[in-house]
C-alpha cells in the first residue's frame, strides 16, 4: 500500500524547530520521522547557521537509513571535524553541487526514482507550487524522504 502524499508542513528555525501550526511541534516531526513513512517536509531557516543546525539534525535522524542521503545544492556543509565529532553518516551522503545542476526539477525527479536514494534534502528553490506537489507525491509513491529547505529572505530598508 502506498503512502498518501502529505501537504507541506512549514517549520521555522532549527533552533527550536517550532512549527507555525499549533500541532506541529518537534514532537510531531519526531513522531513522523520515527513512523518510517516517507513524506515531504518543507523547512524554513532564517540564517546560514540555523540551516546548518537543521541539516545536522536531519542527518542525525536519518543516519540509520539504508541508502544514500542526497544533498542537492547545499550552500554550506558542516566541517569534516564537526561531522566526525557528531558521528554524522558521511559515508552515506552524496552532495550534488549547484553548478552541476542544469534542471533542478528533472534532477529531483530522477533522485526520487532512484532506488538507492532514501533521503533527498533540496536546498535549491522550487519554481512552483505545482512542482512542489508533484515532488511530494513522487516522494510518497517512491517511499522516499524529501525535504525542501528554504531560506527566509531578509528585507533591507
Contact 146, 136 (CB under 8 A): yes
- Please give the CATH superfamily to which domain 10-151 belongs: P-loop containing nucleotide triphosphate hydrolases (3.40.50.300)
Looking at residue 47, what is its pLDDT?
Answer: 86
Q: Which tens digit of pLDDT belongs to each residue from 30-81?
A: 555 455 456 888 888 888 888 899 999 999 999 998 899 999 999 888 888 9
The Cα 2–Cα 71 span in angstroms is: 25
Helical spans, DSSP H, in the chain: 26-34, 48-61, 80-85, 104-112, 129-141
Q: Which tens digit of pLDDT belongs to each residue from 106-135?
A: 999 999 999 999 999 999 988 788 999 999
Is pLDDT of 4 > 70?
no
- The pTM is what? 0.73
Phi, psi of 126 (to 5 degrees): -80, 145
Q: Which tens digit of pLDDT belongs to each residue from 97-112?
A: 999 999 999 999 999 9
Element spanning 69, H or E: strand 68-72
The Cα 59–Cα 93 span in angstroms is: 9
At residue 63, the 3 state secondary structure works out as coil
Is pLDDT of 6 > 50?
no
Amino acid at each position: 500500500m502506498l503512502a498518501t502524499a502529505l501537504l507541506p508542513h512549514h517549520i521555522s528555525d532549527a533552533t527550536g524547530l517550532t512549527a507555525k501550526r499549533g500541532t506541529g511541534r518537534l514532537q510531531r516531526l519526531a513522531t513522523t520521522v520515527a513512523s518510517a513513512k516517507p513524506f515531504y517536509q518543507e523547512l524554513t531557516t532564517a540564517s546560514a547557521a540555523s540551516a546548518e543546525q537543521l541539516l545536522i539534525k536531519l542527518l542525525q535522524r536519518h543516519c540509520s537509513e539504508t541508502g544514500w542521503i542526497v544533498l542537492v545544492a547545499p550552500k554550506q556543509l558542516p566541517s569534516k571535524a564537526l561531522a566526525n565529532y557528531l558521528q554524522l553518516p558521511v559515508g552515506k551522503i552524496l552532495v550534488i553541487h549547484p553548478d552541476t545542476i542544469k534542471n533542478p526539477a528533472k534532477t529531483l525527479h530522477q533522485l526520487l526514482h532512484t532506488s538507492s536514494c532514501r533521503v533527498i534534502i533540496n536546498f535549491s528553490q522550487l519554481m512552483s507550487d505545482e512542482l512542489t506537489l508533484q515532488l511530494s507525491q513522487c516522494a510518497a509513491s517512491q517511499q522516499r524522504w524529501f525535504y525542501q529547505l528554504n531560506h527566509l529572505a531578509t528585507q533591507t530598508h
